[in-house]
Chain A
Amino acid sequence: MSGFDVERVRRDFPILHQEVRGRPLVYLDSAATGQKPQAVIDAIVRFYQHDNANVHRGVHVLSERATEAYEGAREVVKDFLHARDSREIIFTRGTTEAINLVAQTYGRKHVGPGDEVLITQMEHHANIVPWRMLCDEKGATLRVIPVDDRGELVLDAVDALLTERTRILAVTHVSNALGTVNPVKELTRRAHAKGIPVLVDGAQSVTHFPVDVRDLGCDFYAFSGHKLFGPTGIGVLYGRLERLEPLPPYQGGGDMILSVTMEKVTYNRVPHRFEAGTQDLAGAVGLAAAIRYLEGLGLDALAEHDRALMAYATQALESVPGLRLVGTAREKAGVLSFTLEDIHPHDVGTILDREGICIRTGHHCAQPVMQHFKVPATARASLALYNTREDVDALVRGLQKVREVFA
């Protein structure tokens, strides 16, 4: 973990320094939402204390400042994703809205009866349901890349599933339920060979390693601010400019138009065409602060910390008698999903909670992949930049307590 001082990082996150249930908090649920560094909290407060006004329309100084902050945040995101142009960055409410935006614009325009949308068995519901809705509306078919017993995509099946009827491939970068890192660059290469665009759900990936959308080659990339240690209610859709420009608007309203008469509306240019109404301005400012914070730590150092901690945690959990990891892909990031003997994950979660340890239990909004592994639910510990080996050790001790209760 060279160059990465986790104790210093922890000091930047005020929420971590508290006792819960009479014990020091151990937060292992960052895949659900990340905690916020003081820099993010300060940026939001500063925006409301000094700069708050509506953007793009005002002639006054505050509106100028707010516009600069909001559009400046777009630049920060553009650089973070290595996008070509800040017009390729659309602010949304989160990953879910970003995927819905693509389904409702690109999808409704290009998917028709008999067409196919290709996803994977390990998608989060946010990357299943919008496509299911679209396919039902259009009389199209939702097809699925299967997962093997390690929790890796069956790549041999991919080429046959990419057919002349496939209109889009939508795939998660990192599985929130298994931790699997998918080879999206390779998948994109194969889809593009057949002229099929690719959307990547990056909700779980941007927090763990640097992402370069040009290197991946994907057409769309979605992520959420709150998982990236920024505020809730803000997210991003990256879209390649040549993909975005021909698309119809998503929602109608203010700011997404150039002119409106009762007879005719001329829509605004990209990205504003997709940002109807007043956006979450402070959210965008907070997200930019989160990205700057992470970049200040060094994205490579952060990725190295994650890798080392994942390796430590995997080994530590495997030492717990009766524990079975669900998802043992060769490449994993951030997520350890498991079952413990025949003890239901809810019971595991409740007992750990009494030890001050926060984990997630349930199906993680990824029911199809749970069905694949024939479990109704798992317990999931997820790691982030502020987690330590001591957190992992506390988890292992907590799991021993669970076994004692159920002995």
Chain B
Amino acid sequence: MSSGELQDLYQEVVLEHSKRPRNYRVVEGANRQAAGHNPLCGDQLSVTLKLEGDVIRDIGFQGQGCAISRASASLMTGAVKDHTRAEAEALFEKVHALVTEGPEAVDVDALGKLAVLSGVSEFPARVKCASLAWHTLRAALEGRDEAVSTE
């Protein structure tokens, strides 16, 4: 690849998660769910999760989308599982800052694997792809069952 930025966007981890997304399923006994939609490209994604008290005990996603949106969703499920709503919310804020403002804006070390999404900040047209799953997670946690949209 000639372009460093392209390499940053499509890192190995991103490609790997997009090809073999984790938690690509409907969670059995889910008590929260939401659908997300990016009208710009027609991407659709659903998130199901099991909330026990304040803790996300299980989470899965399904849908169609580009490598960035699938990888982001896959990484998200791993990152928020067994975490509280507040922790998931805080993580969303960090990821949002990462993909919009770049790695300088956040404490990248605290993001773990999610740091691979830092390349997105060089591609403004792709920010919505990276954040669709997170918006959908937020809608599920808030119990909004109307479809969320990135528009």
User: Cβ of A351 < 8 Å from any Cβ of B?
Assistant: yes
Q: How large is the interface on A (under 10, 10 to 19, 20 to 34, 35 or more residues)?
A: 20 to 34
Contact status B64-A376, CB under 8 Å = yes
Please judge, given known A-B contacts A350-B126, A354-B3, A404-B1, whether A343 and B67 are in contact too, CB under 8 Å.
yes
Indicate whether A79 reaches chain B with its CB closer than 8 angstroms: no
Contact B67 A376 (CB under 8 A): no
- Given known pairs A344-B67, A346-B66, the reply for A376 and B6 (CB within 8 Å) is no
Q: Which residues of A contact B123 (CB under 8 A)?
A: 350
List B contacts of A362 (CB < 8 A).
Answer: 40-42
Q: For the complex, is A377 an interface residue (Cβ under 8 Å from B)?
A: yes
Chain A residues contacting B43 (CB-CB under 8 Å) are 346, 376-377
Report the minimal beta-carbon distance from A82 to chain B, rounded to whole angstroms: 38
Given contacts A363-B41, A363-B42, contact A347 B3 (CB under 8 A): no
Bound-complex Cα distance A346 to B9 (A): 13
Chain A positions within 8 Å of B41 at CB level: 345-346, 361-363, 376-377
B125 contacts A by Cβ under 8 Å: yes
The interface on chain B, measured as residues whose beta carbon lies within 8 A of the other chain's beta carbons, has a size of 21
B1 cross-chain contacts in A, Cβ below 8 A: 401, 404-405
Interface of A is mostly: helix
Could you tell me the distance between the alpha carbons of A376 and B1 in the complex, rounded to whole angstroms?
28
Minimum Cβ distance to chain A for residue B62 (Å) = 14
Q: Give every chain A residue within 8 A of B97 (Cβ-Cβ).
A: none
Complex CA distance for A350 and B10, rounded to whole angstroms: 10
Partner of A405, one of B6, B66, B129: B6
A346, A354, A401, A404, most chain B CB atoms within 10 A: A346
Contact with B along A326-366 (1 / 0, CB 8 A): 00000000000000000111110011001000000111000
Cβ contact within 8 Å between B42 and A370: yes
- Whether the pair A347, B67 counts as a contact (CB closer than 8 A) is yes
Closest chain-B Cβ to A89's Cβ sits at a distance in Å of 34
Bound CA–CA A344/B129 (angstroms)? 11
Beta-carbon nearest neighbor of B65 in chain A: A344
Interface string of B3-45 (1 = CB under 8 A from A): 1011001100001000000000000000000000000111110
CB distance B126 to A354 under 8 Å? no
- A residues 377-407 near B (Cβ < 8 Å) are 377, 401, 404-406
Residues of A within 8 A of B67 (CB): 343-344, 347, 406
**A351–B2 Cα gap in the complex (Å)?**
11
Q: Using Cβ atoms and an 8 Å threshold, which residues of chain B touch A361?
A: 41
A354 to B43, CA, bound (A): 22
Q: A367: CB under 8 A from chain B?
A: yes
Chain A residues near B40 (CB-CB < 8 A): 362
Q: Is the CB of A405 within 8 A of B64?
A: no
Shortest Cβ distance from B5 into chain A, in angstroms? Answer: 7
Choose among A21, A347, A370, A404 the residue that contacts B66 (Cβ–Cβ < 8 A): A347
Q: List 7 A-B contacts (CB under 8 A).
A: A346-B43, A346-B129, A354-B3, A362-B41, A362-B42, A376-B41, A376-B42
A residues lining the B interface (CB < 8 Å):
21, 343-347, 350-351, 354, 361-363, 367, 370, 376-377, 401, 404-406
Not counting A350-B6, A350-B123, A377-B41, a sample of 19 additional A-B residue pairs whose C-beta atoms are within 8 angstroms of each other reads: A21-B3, A344-B67, A345-B66, A346-B43, A347-B66, A350-B9, A350-B125, A350-B126, A351-B6, A351-B10, A354-B3, A354-B6, A362-B41, A362-B42, A363-B41, A370-B42, A376-B41, A376-B42, A405-B6
Interface positions of B (Cβ within 8 A of A) = 1, 3, 5-6, 9-10, 15, 40-44, 64-68, 123, 125-126, 129
A-B residue pairs, 7 tightest by C-beta: A344-B66, A346-B66, A376-B42, A363-B42, A354-B3, A362-B41, A347-B67
